[in-house]
Amino acid sequence: MKNKTKKIALMALVSSVLSPLIASAQWSAGLANAQQSGLPWDNISSIIGNIMFWLLSLVGVIAVIGFAISG
C-alpha cells in the first residue's frame, strides 16, 4: 500500500512539474509583464477594499434571495 501511494505521489509531482513544459507555457515574471497579468495594479488597501465590496455585495444578494424565498 505504501509503495502504491509513493508511486502515485511521484507521478503527481512529475506531471505537475512537466505539464507546463509540455504545454510550452513559458512566461517571464518581469515588471513589464506584471501589467499584462490581469491582476490589479493598486495598493493593497484598495485591493482588499474591492474584495470586501464584492463579498458584501454577494452576501447582500444572497440575503435578498433568502428574504424573497422565506416570504
pLDDT surpassing 90 at residue 19? no
pLDDT of residue 4: 85
Domain ranges of the chain: 1-39, 43-70
pLDDT of residue 41: 76
Give Cα 30 distance to the centre of its chain.
Answer: 20
Phi, psi of 60 (to 5 degrees): -65, -45
pLDDT surpassing 90 at residue 68? yes
pLDDT surpassing 70 at residue 9? yes
pLDDT of residue 69: 94
Give Cα 6 distance to the centre of its chain.
Answer: 28
pLDDT surpassing 70 at residue 33? no
